[in-house]
Amino acid sequence: ATSFTGAPGTELAHHLSCETQARLPNPMKSIWKLSLGRPECINMGNGDPHHTLYPVSEISFKVPAVTNNDPVQAWRNGTGETQVLHAYKDEPSVISLRSALRYGAGAGLLEVRQALEKVNRLLHSTTSNTHTITLSLGNADAVTKCYRLLGNPGDSFLVEEFSFPGMTNAPLAQNIKWVPVKLDEKGIIPEEMERILTDWNEAAQGRRPHVLYTIPCGQNPTGSTLSLDRRQRIYELARKWDIIIIEDDPYFFLQYDIGALDTEAVQRDGFAASFARKLAPSFLSMDVDGRVLRIDSLSKILAPGMRLGWITCNPFFAEKLEMLTDSSTQHPHGLGQVFVAEMLAETGWGMDGFIRWVKSLCDEYQRRRDFFIDTFRREIGDCGFASAEVPEAGMFIWVRVHLECHTRYQSGDDDNTIVLMQELFQNLFEAGLVLMPATTFAIVGSGAKSTPHIHTRCHFFRATFCGTEETMEAGIGIFGKTIKKFFAS
Ligand code: PMP
Ligand code: PLP
């Protein structure tokens, strides 16, 4: 394909980086793909080790059975039933190890993509005509590939003004500049985004941003989740200003406060469909133009070491991403792909079982979040030195330190937020607690006009509620004692 047209009048080829435009397909993969459509054809061209020489004939994964409504608890206690997923090289399986262990296409195994397409249809109402799936080695791999797909040296990308440094560091070496957009507990403020775009002066600032990198649920680090209204307004802005949205959503599955599922709805439509209706609609679900690259990961719901995720986007961008994969990382690990295919198949967890696991995980993390907040309120009380918003998703709490109550705090030109926060970080560290300071996440934009004085807004720490109750109790205890001493100093 040479281009992609979504809704009438949308043409996306001009978003591609020079690197993408210059990239050639891997010529051997192109020939190999020809032979996929002609299984009777003898392929003596590829240096593919013969399957009889693979030293594995069978693999099994022991997993919790996910038949009841709270499999996570039973699994943790070791009291629940277990289930074994099998795959074989020479006997029938969902994916034979013959296919999984040989060289494959960059997009990943067809069976895995088809299973994930079902997940997408359920959660984002996508159709395979408008959006296709390419597997990734997790969101870090996917997001950085998207930067290379779209970014030219000198380009400016929009981003939340506090963001995940693993991902915001990456394209700096490509000479991509970040333009930070203010956010609050409901995520990016659309008016701020619009102001930046309207005020943009191409003569002085270079090409107007054509990419937004956003973390819509349980944003890392602020824990904010974009409201539906804001999502719609941001998508409309993206259409108006011709912006591609990179929707990095590793915490999408961890949305809280959705309550128990309605038993009648579960009986009528199944567990997965009933759960899906409770989730915030993604940018992908609104994407009539094909301008969303949605990035999903199994890291937070299965395990980060799986290194498996998927990119959903228009087929034109997908082809370019596959070309990058075919000439760099190659497809994800075969055994991981086997696990996903076996797990999502009806002989494994199936879609309902997978979502039962996810919902049970949400319930567990929600309990941990609530424990964190209750402990925090008890320790900090009404001393007024710190506060925390209750996040609707993800793993993070953005703890605000009320520096304005400190006798040594100075605002205005002599603002000493960074100095005081550094002192508090050091005091906490000496007392035995590490929290992530806001400065770690602050995006210092290239255009000083875009978000002035971010240092004055760095009076936050990122804390996680992933850990055990004992860890949280001890950590928040240290925080309470230390902050009271700090404010008295
Ligand atoms: N993006 C964000 C916003 C994240 O929080 C993380 C995980 N910390 C990643 C990407 C990387 O995820 P993965 O393990 O899927 O590469
Ligand atoms: N460590 C590594 C190596 C990672 O890749 C990541 C996330 O990508 C993390 C830790 C966790 O990051 P966070 O603390 O934001 O969850």
Quick: pLDDT tens for 376-426: 999 998 889 999 999 999 999 999 999 999 999 999 989 999 999 999 999
Ligand 2 atom at minimum distance from 138 CA: 8
Ligand 1 near 309 CB (within 6 A): yes
Convert the pLDDT of each residue in 277-335 to its tens digit: 999 999 999 999 999 999 999 999 999 999 999 999 999 999 999 999 999 999 999 99
pLDDT of 448 reads 45
pLDDT of 451 reads 55
- pLDDT greater than 70 at residue 452: no
Pocket test for ligand 1, best of 188, 212, 220 (most atoms within 8 A of CB): 220
Ligand 1 near 220 CB (within 6 A): yes
Distance between Cα 262 and ligand 1 center (Å) = 32
Ligand 1 near 420 CB (within 6 A): no
Ligand 1 near 297 CB (within 6 A): yes
- pLDDT greater than 50 at residue 444: yes
Ligand 1 near 138 CB (within 6 A): yes
- pLDDT greater than 60 at residue 260: yes
What percent of the chain lies above the pLDDT cut of 90?
A: 86
244: tokens are: 């591609």
Q: CA 477 to CA 242: how far, in whole Å? A: 49
Q: Which ligand is nearest to the CA of 144?
A: 1
Ligand 1 near 215 CB (within 6 A): yes
How far are the Cα atoms of 229, 264, 300, 359, 400 from residue 260, in angstroms, in the given order?
Answer: 25, 12, 21, 9, 31
pLDDT of 8 reads 62
Domains of the chain, each with CATH number or no CATH: 55-359 (3.40.640.10), 360-487 (3.90.1150.10)
In this structure, which amino acid lies at residue 125?
Answer: S
- Could you tell me the sign of the dihedral formed by the alpha carbons of 256, 257, 263, 264, in that order? negative
pLDDT of 158 reads 98
pLDDT of 30 reads 85
* Residue 356 C-alpha from the chain's centroid: 20
- pLDDT greater than 90 at residue 252: yes
Q: CA 165 to CA 214: how far, in whole Å? A: 13
Residues 6 or more apart in contact with residue 307 via CB below 8 angstroms:
137, 138, 141, 332, 333, 336
Distance between Cα 220 and ligand 1 center (Å) = 9
Where does ligand 2 bind, in terms of residues with CB under 6 Å? Answer: 140, 164, 166, 220
Q: What is the pTM of this model?
A: 0.95
Q: Which ligand is nearest to the CA of 145?
A: 1
Ligand 2 atom at minimum distance from 464 CA: 14
For the residues 134-162, what does the mean pLDDT come to?
98
